[in-house]
Each structure stands twice: as C-alpha cells, then as structure tokens.
C-alpha cells in the first residue's frame, strides 16, 4: 500500500493538475487545490511535460507547509525517450520546480521501444536508493509491458508499485488485461481521464461546445467515435432521471467498478470541481451501477471467447 511521507493512506481520489497553467489560471488552480484539501484529497498528480513546467511549479507552491501530508506523483520520459540521461535531466528539473528533494511516486510516462527496460529500471532503482523518489510507476503501458517490467524489476530488487492507465465509461480497454494483471502482480492502479476528458459531463450534447474536445485535435480524435457520444448522451439522460450530475455518476461508477482503480479526477475551476468531488460521498446503488455499466459496450475478453464472459 502506498502512503504519504507521514504514513497516511492515500485519498479515495487523486487530483490531476494537467490544467494548471493551461485553461486554469494561477488563482483558479489555487482555489481548486484548496477545495480538494477541504475534501481530504491528499494525492496530486503532475508530470514533467505538463504546461511547460507550470503544473509542477504551482503544485509545489500550493503544497508548501504541508508537504509530509501530501502525496505527489509526477512522470518523466514523455519526450526524449527513457534512457537514463534524459530521465535524470527531467527528474532534476521536476524536483527543482516542485521544490522537493523527494517525489513520492515517479512514473515512466510511456513505454519506449528503443530503450531496454533493464536500463530504465536500473535507473529507477538507483533513484530509490538515492531517495529522489519513494515509489516507481509506469503509465500508458500495455499489460504485457507492465508484466515484463515487474519481472525485470524483481530481479533488480525493485517493485513496480503503481500503474496509470486511461479508464472511463467510454474507454474500458483496461478492464481486459491491465487491471487483472495489476491485481495479480500487486500493483496499484490510478486511472486517468474519468470523464473522458469532459465528454461524460454531457456538455458536448448541448449547444455550447467549449472545452478540450472542441479545442484540441488530439483529444477530438481520441473521443471521436460516435458510440462514445451515444454513451455520453445516454448517461446525461440517466442523470436527469436521477437528478444527479453526470460527472458525479461517471466518477462514482469507476469507484464502484470491479477493479476499483483510484480515479485521477480533474477540473479547470471550482464550479467544474463540485460535481466531481460529490462522487466521493455518492452512494451508488447496485441497480444504478448496472444501468450505467450497460450504457457502453463491454470490451471482449482477451481470449475473445464471448460465451465465457462474465
């Protein structure tokens, strides 16, 4: 189990700061941080690559004075590959921006096919020894890559403590192999984009089309499938029926799902944040869970033997 420096358990949700400095001003980001703390969130996620360093810098400022109570995860290797020289340069910069000697959890941001995992994981092992990080994680890895990394890590006396895949009602691939692999290997899952980058708030079903999917071609493509938009429309309808915000339902559904990954939630301002945080205390009935679960197709099992799917 991952814990803060002061030994506390991590909160039920993590807050992701990818919007700090892009879409969220300094004041808005500070208010969002304060509201998360008031809701007892103690886990914040950032990355070397986010917003030219503002995400890490602002997070470092906001958590000043309560460092030991906060669990900070960051990521390196999104750009420049996962060879030790690049990772060292990025980690050094991240620690300076965050004004921290130690980052609690450091993820490799994505798999690099051009660098042997042995090299990268030896580097992680050295960082743990030097106490520049407390835990090692991987993000955007396929299940086979996670498994391979864990076995290499074991030979180095290292543990892959966490994985960070994408997961939401409209992105369910992780259910097939990533979550079961992580459960089997005792790797904690912190899953990102619980609202499908905003799609599941229902706002793209209305006239106002202001948000990431309208402004960012990469995200528009990621969520461009018509079926995903149909799911968002259906979730919105259900939310009207139950008088609960669709963002609350989308996040609470993850928290109640079979493998119960920790959702990495996010919002650009406190208005957006309120329905997201409401999911913390939303007691979803089994019936409502099933209704939401049936709004999106379940991915086929890894064997493709549909008749054996439970």
Give contact residues for ligand NAP (rule: CB under 6 A).
16-19, 23, 45, 139-140, 164, 192-198, 201, 203, 211-212, 247, 264-268, 272, 275-276
Kindly state the smallest distance separating residue 286's Cβ from ligand NAP, in Å: 24
> By Cβ distance, which residue is nearest to ligand NAP?
16
Kindly state the smallest distance separating residue 27's Cβ from ligand NAP, in Å: 16
Residue 144 backbone dihedrals phi, psi, to 5 degrees: -65, -35
Our CB check for ligand NAP shows the closer of 265 and 292 to be 265
Our CB check for ligand NAP shows the closer of 242 and 301 to be 242
Smallest Cα–Cα separation from 149: which of 107, 94, 193, 102? 107
Kindly state the smallest distance separating residue 219's Cβ from ligand NAP, in Å: 8
Our CB check for ligand NAP shows the closer of 154 and 215 to be 215
Q: Answer whether 175's CB lies under 8 Å from 298's CB.
A: yes
Our CB check for ligand NAP shows the closer of 117 and 267 to be 267
Our CB check for ligand NAP shows the closer of 47 and 234 to be 47
Kindly state the smallest distance separating residue 14's Cβ from ligand NAP, in Å: 8
Kindly state the smallest distance separating residue 271's Cβ from ligand NAP, in Å: 7
Our CB check for ligand NAP shows the closer of 60 and 275 to be 275
Return the SS3 of 277.
helix
Our CB check for ligand NAP shows the closer of 21 and 198 to be 198
User: Rounded to 5, what percent of the chain is helix, strand, coil?
Assistant: 50, 15, 35
Kindly state the smallest distance separating residue 176's Cβ from ligand NAP, in Å: 19
Query: Considering just the CA atoms, what is the radius of gyration of the chain in Å?
Result: 19
Determine the Cα–Cα distance for residues 37 and 164; give it in Å rounded to an integer: 22
Determine the Cα–Cα distance for residues 46 and 18; give it in Å rounded to an integer: 6
Kindly state the smallest distance separating residue 149's Cβ from ligand NAP, in Å: 15
Determine the Cα–Cα distance for residues 158 and 87; give it in Å rounded to an integer: 17
Q: Answer whether 165's CB lies under 8 Å from 192's CB.
A: yes
Q: Answer whether 60's CB lies under 8 Å from 96's CB.
A: no
Determine the Cα–Cα distance for residues 108 and 139; give it in Å rounded to an integer: 6
Q: Answer whether 135's CB lies under 8 Å from 105's CB.
A: yes
């Amino acid at each position: 189990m991952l814990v803060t420096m002061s030994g506390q358990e991590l909160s039920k949700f993590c807050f992701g700061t990818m919007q700090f400095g892009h879409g969220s001003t300094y004041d808005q980001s500070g208010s969002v941080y304060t509201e998360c703390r008031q809701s007892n969130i103690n886990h914040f996620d950032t990355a070397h690559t986010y917003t030219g360093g503002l995400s890490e810098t602002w997070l470092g400022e906001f958590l000043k004075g309560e460092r030991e109570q906060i669990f900070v995860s960051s990521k390196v290797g999104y750009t420049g590959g996962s060879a030790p020289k690049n990772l060292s340069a990025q980690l050094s910069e991240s620690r300076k921006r965050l004004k921290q000697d130690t980052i609690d959890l450091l993820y490799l941001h994505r798999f690099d096919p051009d660098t042997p995992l042995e090299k990268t994981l030896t580097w992680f092992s050295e960082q743990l020894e030097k106490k520049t990080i407390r835990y090692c994680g991987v993000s955007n890895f396929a299940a086979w890559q996670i498994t391979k990394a864990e076995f290499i890590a074991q030979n180095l006396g290292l543990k892959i403590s966490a994985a960070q895949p994408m997961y939401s009602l409209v992105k369910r691939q992780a259910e097939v192999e990533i979550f079961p692999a992580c459960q089997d290997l005792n790797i904690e899952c912190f899953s990102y984009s619980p609202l499908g980058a905003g799609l599941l708030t229902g706002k793209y079903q209305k006239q106002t089309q202001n948000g990431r999917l309208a402004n960012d071609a990469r995200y528009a493509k990621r969520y461009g499938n018509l079926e995903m938009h149909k799911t968002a429309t259906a979730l919105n309808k259900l939310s009207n029926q139950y008088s609960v915000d669709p963002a609350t339902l989308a996040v609470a559904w993850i928290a109640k799902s079979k493998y119960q990954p920790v959702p990495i939630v996010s919002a650009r301002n406190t208005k957006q944040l309120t329905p997201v945080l409401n999911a913390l205390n939303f007691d979803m009935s089994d019936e409502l869970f099933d209704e939401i679960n049936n709004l999106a197709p379940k991915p086929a099992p890894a064997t493709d033997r549909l008749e054996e799917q439970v």
